[in-house]
Amino acid sequence: MPESILHFGAIRVRVVGDGNLKAKLSSLDDVFSQDLVPITMESASGIQPTRLANFNSQRALLEIKTTEFDEYFRINRIILFVKELYTSYPG
């Protein structure tokens, strides 16, 4: 499975904090990328927000950040929903 083409369908994050958490999926060498819908963080939410994605690549980089000065976050768990599409590229 290491060189398979994968479909990244969603991420689920257990996060607490203040502000907006921005997430982005990127392919190798940042050729393709997809910005996900920002997560509005709370100090005690009781839920694990899920953000849908539609990203196909052999591998992906998940970037999570805040952009404002006083925003902060603490992540306890990240779940990636990934499904194998193909075993390799043609040829």
Question: If the chain, 91 residues long, is cut into consecutive pieces of 10 residues, what is the mean pLDDT of each piece?
Answer: 86 93 92 94 86 94 92 93 88 70
Q: In this predicted structure, what is the pLDDT of residue 45?
A: 76
Token pair belonging to 36: 């996900």
Q: Rounded to whole angstroms, how far apart are CA atoms 67 and 71? A: 7
Q: Report the pLDDT value the prediction gives residue 3, as an integer from 0 to 100.
A: 80
What's the pLDDT score for residue 47? 86
Distance CA 2, CA 28 (A): 13
pLDDT of res. 1? 54
Domain assignments of the chain as residue spans, ordered by start: 5-86
